[in-house]
Amino acid sequence: MTISVFDLFSIGIGPSSSHTVGPMRAACRFAEGLVEDGLLGQVAGVRVELFGSLGATGHGHGSVKAVILGLEGERPDLVDPAEGQPRADRAVRERRLRLAGRQEIDFSPDDVVLHRGATLPVHPKAMTFRATDARGATLSERTFYSVGRGFVVNESESGEPQLVPDTTPVPYPFDTGAQLLEHCARERLPISSVVLANELSWRSEPEVRAGLLRLWEVMRECVDRGSSTEGVLPGGLDVHRRAATLRARLEATSQGTDPLQTLEWVSLFALAVNEENAAGGRVVTAPTNGAAGIIPAVLHYYDRFVPGSDDDGVVRFLLAAAAVGMLFTENASISGAEVGCQGEVGSACAMAAAGLAEVIGGRPEQVENAAEIGIQHNLGLTCDPVRGLVQIPCIERNAVASIKAITAARMALHGHGTHHVSLDKAITTMRETGAAMSVVYKETSRGGVAVNVVEC
């Protein structure tokens, strides 16, 4: 299976790629399917059932809102984040929904069922959509799985997730870090150039560059919004936004008085993104929403504090980071519901470390080493959001991992690229650790900090 950079990085809304973006895409796809099959005019009602972690933390992750908006034909990359919750609230209040943006149908909050304890056997994040006519007869029923990064796959007739692999031939195919380094050594290319050459199998170089710089623009806009907005995050935990206050404090402090002030800025960048994500704002899934602040924070560090930074460096950063993300996707998982937060924050930390190492002069072996350091010291990280909200401990966790990524990149450049634990071995270890991890630590909010914090 061939993975594009733009499969790993996409524009969506918070708070979760798999619980918000995925369900919205699935709901929209279901509604579009009714149109394509000529059934829309016969539909009188729709029932949606969310299973596994979608059911366990659906309210906290905005899954219900996402389903309503998706059924009305909205897409996560185009929907206005500010209008999302009011529209969902209006549908509940008026008990009416505009299916596919065309067909008015009756709607009740009970039409979206969250099964907190039930799962489907194929995947921990499943959802079933059923459209009925005026007599209650089923017109269409489809099951989707949210498999991470906002991706959704259909269920085939055999009951298995139906993911059609992209078999586009690329000049430098790789499934492991070792294969990637072999290409770099043989062709004498940096990792970013190998990934770019593969990306040209789908689109032109100007299109790749424009697409990556568009992602960078959205990241910067997100940091700007997050660091200028005050208030309390939604959800009932009474979590106050901190990025705006921190920004004001840093801007009021003269540069150079504190040798650690640079790290404060990096923390600010990450906090800003993840506070926006928690509020349902527009973010770049990088590679998930729960870990969306790490790559933007480290990219901002490069842009602001590394001499000679430019747009070419941003492009190379994202290409190198994507290479590492592809390895996690192919050989383990980036889904908190499958392997815990080591799959989200851990993979994002490794990706950011690789991207930074690439643009500050690292050789391919050092870039690979940076990624390995980034993931190795996140192994075993649990996903235990309090009340299912992507706030505690998620927001601070992004800030800490951003600093860790910078440390990993700089540490790797002080070495020669040789190390005892390869990136491939670290990814394998992450997969095995996730398999051994109890389900209560996999995004269900039934273990860890989630059950040891008094909710006020």
pTM of the predicted protein model: 0.89
pLDDT at 354: 98
Asked if 413 contacts 361 with a C-beta cutoff of 8 angstroms, the reply is yes
pLDDT at 155: 67
pLDDT at 455: 54
Q: Cα-atom radius of gyration of the chain, to the nearest Å?
A: 22
When pLDDT is cut at 50, 70 and 90, the band that residue 258 belongs to is confident
When pLDDT is cut at 50, 70 and 90, the band that residue 122 belongs to is confident
pLDDT at 143: 94
d(CA 113, CA 133): 19
- Residue 454 burial by Cβ neighbours in a 10 Å radius (0-12, 13-18, 19+): exposed
pLDDT at 454: 59
Cα distances from 387 to residues 65, 68, 375, 449, 454, in angstroms, run: 17, 21, 26, 10, 10
When pLDDT is cut at 50, 70 and 90, the band that residue 120 belongs to is confident
Out of 68-82, 158-172, 332-346, 397-411, pick the least confident: 158-172
pLDDT tens for 289-305 read 999 999 999 999 999 99
pLDDT at 158: 43
pLDDT tens for 5-61 read 999 999 999 998 888 999 999 999 999 999 999 999 999 999 999 998 888 777 778
d(CA 219, CA 221): 5
- 94: enclosing H helix or E strand: helix 81-94
Query: What is residue 454's DSSP assignment?
Result: -
Residue 19, CB-side half-sphere exposure with 13 Å CA sphere: 33
Asked if 391 contacts 304 with a C-beta cutoff of 8 angstroms, the reply is no
Report, in this order, helix, strand and coil percent for the chain, each rounded to 5.
Answer: 50, 10, 35
Query: Which has more pLDDT, 111 or 57?
Result: 111
Asked if 53 contacts 337 with a C-beta cutoff of 8 angstroms, the reply is yes
d(CA 318, CA 195): 10
pLDDT at 97: 94
